[in-house]
């Protein structure tokens, strides 16, 4: 398969590239590095990136930013980080990808454990992750040509704990390599409208 992987140079993206790269052609994409440049907050950038790589068998997003902060102190700009980047960025990516996927192709988005397991200062992340999961469920029943869409919801990554440990006390961190298996299930499997929870 030919797979476009957005966020390929991030912690999760590198693990996904390693998992899928031994069996498939990976086109790496990112905001500032990769084979192609893509900014999820810019629909024109998304369209250009998809058009530049030709027909695809899968589009995978291992990217998306959210802001953390006390609920009643979050500014509109902080809310917009998650809403415009991780949520609507991935939604727009999925919608644009339809025209560039071969019949039977797949879209895999990234959500996260905070959709079900909230933490202090993480209301924006909980909102965004739950929104992605709802979008996947709704989109799955309308996609044409046998196209599939799923999401992977990993727990906090072991590799990210040096930065996030104070917020995730009591959580059992997940190795990025294990989280990457959820992406393999989505890309290489037959499910649609599924959220693969890797915890």
Band of residue 183 on the pLDDT scale cut at 50, 70, 90: very high
Q: What pLDDT is recorded for position 118? A: 97
DSSP β-ladder status, 25-30 and 148-154: unpaired
CATH numbers and ranges of domains, the chain: 2-198 (3.40.50.720)
DSSP β-ladder status, 195-198 and 36-37: unpaired
Band of residue 113 on the pLDDT scale cut at 50, 70, 90: very high
Q: What pLDDT is recorded for position 188? A: 98
Cβ pair 126, 108 in contact under 8 A: no
Band of residue 24 on the pLDDT scale cut at 50, 70, 90: very high
Helix, strand, coil percentages (3-state) for the chain, rounded to 5, are 45, 20, 30
* Tens digit of each residue's pLDDT (9 = 90 or more) over 66-87: 999 999 999 999 999 999 999 9
Tokens of 5: 């992987």
């Amino acid at each position: 398969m030919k797979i476009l992987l957005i966020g390929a140079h991030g912690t999760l993206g590198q693990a996904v590239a390693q998992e899928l790269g031994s069996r498939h052609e990976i086109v790496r994409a990112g905001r500032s590095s990769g084979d192609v440049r893509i900014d999820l907050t810019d629909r024109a950038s998304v369209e250009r990136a998809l058009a530049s790589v030709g027909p695809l068998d899968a589009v995978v997003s291992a990217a998306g930013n959210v802001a953390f902060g006390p609920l009643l102190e979050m500014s509109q700009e902080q809310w917009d980080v998650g809403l415009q980047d991780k949520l609507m960025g991935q939604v727009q990516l999925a919608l644009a990808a339809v025209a560039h996927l071969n019949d039977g192709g797949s879209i895999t988005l990234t959500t996260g454990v905070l959709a079900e397991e909230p933490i202090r200062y993480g209301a924006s992340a909980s909102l965004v992750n739950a929104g992605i999961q709802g979008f996947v469920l709704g989109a799955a029943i309308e996609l044409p040509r046998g196209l599939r869409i799923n999401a992977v919801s990993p727990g906090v990554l072991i590799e990210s704990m040096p930065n996030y440990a104070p917020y995730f006390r009591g959580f059992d961190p997940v190795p990025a390599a294990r989280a990457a298996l959820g992406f393999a299930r989505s890309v290489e499997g037959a499910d649609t409208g599924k959220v693969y929870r890797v915890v």
